[in-house]
Chains A and B, each alone.
Chain A
Amino acid sequence: MSIDKKITEDLVNAGISFVTTVPCKQLAGVIDEIDQHPDIFHIPSNKEDEGMGLCAGAWMGGKRPAIIMQNTAIGVTINTLATLIQYYRMPLPMLISYRGELREPVACQVEMAVYTKALLAQMNIPTYHFHKQADAEELPMILDYTFMCNKPVAILTDANFWGGYGDQ
C-alpha cells in the first residue's frame, strides 16, 4: 500500500470523516486519496485558520476532523490554535508537511522550518516527527491520542519521509 493510501486509511479507521486541506507539493498524493475516499468529506480551505474554523464547527457537529497543511501555516494559525482550538479544548490532528528540512530545494522554506518546532513547543502542542516511512506506524496511536486528550496535535512529515524531490 502506498504511504498516501496508508495515511488515508489510518484517518478513516480513526473515525475521521471531515478533512480540510491547503496544498503542499509533498502532500499532493495524500490529498488526492482523501478527495477520492467515499468516507471522507474533503473541503479545501483558502487559508489554514479558516480550515481550523471549519474543523471546530465539524467537531461540534459530531464529526471527527483533521487538517492537512504545510508548516508555513504555523505562522498563520497561532492565534486560532490558542483562542479557538486550545481555549475551547477541541481535538485537531494536523498532518503537516515539514518543508525546509533535509533535501529541501527551496531556501526560503528553511526560514519557517527553523521556527516550526520551537513554535509548536512554545504552544505546548504535542508534536511527532515522521522522518522515515516506518515512523507512520504510530499514526493510528497519535490519532487516538488526539481525540482522547482534545488537543491539537502536530504530525510533521519531512522530505525524507515523502521521498524527497527528484535529485535532491
Chain B
Amino acid sequence: MIRSEILKEIAPILRDQLVVCNIGIPSQELHAIDDQPTNFYMLGTMGLASSIGLGLALAQPKPVIVIDGDGSVLTNLGTLPTIGNNVADNYILMIIDNGSYGSTGDQPTYTGKKTDLAGMARAAGCENVVEVQDVDTGKALTAALESGKMTVMIVKCDSGNAKNPVITMDPVVIRDRFMKAVSA
C-alpha cells in the first residue's frame, strides 16, 4: 500500500479526531480524501507536524493524531526526546514510513536503509512505540485511541503518491476553522 491508500482506509477513523497533517503531498491527499475542519494542514515548515501536535495535545484534552513522515521526522529528530519526556496521553504520532521523500520525487531517506525510527523513538524515551504494516494501520490506530496512552506508530508502507491538486485554502482560514473545531 502507498500512503494515500492508507489514508483512504483510515479516513473514517480520522474524521472525528483532531489531525495535524504533514506538509506537501500527505496534506494534499488527506484534503482530497476527506477535508474536515478538524484537519490542520501544514503548507510549509517541514518537520514540525509532531511538535505542533504535541503542543496542541498538551494544551487541551481532546485526542490529537499527527500524520507525519519519515523524512520530516528525520529533519526534526529533537522532537522524539521532547515527546518522550513530556507525556501527553491524548497524543498519537503516526509516522508513515515509506522510506522516501515523497513530495520531492521519492528520493530515498535513511529509514529505507539502516536507520530504525522505532528504535530511535524508544531510545528517546517514548514508551508506547508500535511498528505497523500498512494493511494493519486502521486496527492499530483504533487500538492507540482506545488505549488512552501516548503512542508512536511507525507505519511501514510503499513509496508513492496520489495525484491531487495543491491546497489553495488560505492558511488563516485553515487555522481559524481548526481552532473553532478544537474549542467546539
Contact = CB atoms under 8 A, between A and B. Distances in A.
Interface of A: 18, 41, 43-47, 49-63, 65, 79-80, 82-84, 87-90
B52 A53 contact: yes
B82 interface: yes
Given A53-B45, A87-B171, A60 B178 contact: yes
A60 B175 contact: yes
Nearest to B49: A53
B59 A61 contact: yes
Given A60-B40, A83-B44, A89 B59 contact: no
Interface of B: prevailing SS: helix
B69 interface: no
Contacts of B86: 43
Interface residues of B, number: 34
Interface in B10-63: 20, 40, 42-45, 47-60
A54 B40 contact: no
A58 B53 CA distance: 8
B56 A80 contact: no
Given A54-B52, A54-B58, 14 more contacts: A45-B82, A46-B79, A53-B50, A54-B55, A56-B48, A56-B51, A58-B59, A59-B59, A60-B178, A60-B179, A60-B182, A83-B43, A83-B45, A84-B48
